[in-house]
Amino acid sequence: MQLTELRGVGPRLAEKLAALGITTVQDLLFHLPLRYQDRTRITPIGALQPGRDAVLEGEVRAADIAYAIAERTGGKKTYVTFDIDCLDPAFAPGTGTPVAGGPSSAKILSVLRQMTQIDIVGADVVEVAPAYDHADITAIAGASVALHYIGLLAERKARLEALNNNTAVNHGSGI
């Protein structure tokens, strides 16, 4: 089948494609872009070479994420927003834009538990769509994130009160 038989491919576009060596539909299907990266081959870290593109597989730890957020905010007052659709659909199916491969709700809650050094002044959870989740899995995940936010705000309040009273924060006091 010739390219000009495809809707939207006229003589001018066919001429441009021919300059790239693409003259049939099959050529078009198997044409790889200039900067194509084969992402099917995972490169072990020990085999990495300077200046060469590579695909790595690894896991980002919750502590690394919390540390990156703390570095980014730099001790400034911070408003945190959590977009629930970042979670894998297995943990948050009730959202308008589910994306496979996201973190679990356990991973995110672990990140939040480690965000004690961030000066959080407010927070929200967005993109929860109960109409898309008959089992309320997403709403439960969103509520858990919000509960962790409240805990972080309570810790912040306790730290500020301790600073004002020149006393230590008692983490076992139920705050």
What domains sit in the chain, N to C, each tagged with a CATH number? 3-47 (no CATH), 62-165 (3.40.800.10)
pLDDT value at 172 more than 60: no
Give the CA distances from residue 109 to residues 10, 28, 62, in Å, rounded to whole numbers and listed in that order: 54, 46, 9
pLDDT value at 144 more than 80: yes
**pLDDT at position 34:** 67
**pLDDT at position 159:** 84
pLDDT value at 174 more than 60: no
pLDDT value at 148 more than 80: yes
φ, ψ (nearest 5 deg) of residue 83: -90, 110
Mean pLDDT of the chain: 89
Kind and range of the H or E run holding 120: strand 120-126
Helix, strand, coil percentages for the chain (3-state, nearest 5): 45, 10, 50
Q: How confident is the model at residue 124 (pLDDT cuts 50, 70, 90)?
A: very high
Kind and range of the H or E run holding 121: strand 120-126
Q: Report the largest interatomic distance among the alpha carbons of the chain, rounded to a whole angstrom.
A: 81
Amino acid found at 12: R
Q: How confident is the model at residue 175 (pLDDT cuts 50, 70, 90)?
A: very low
Percent of the chain with pLDDT over 70: 94
Kind and range of the H or E run holding 122: strand 120-126
Closest CA to 145 of 130, 128, 159: 128
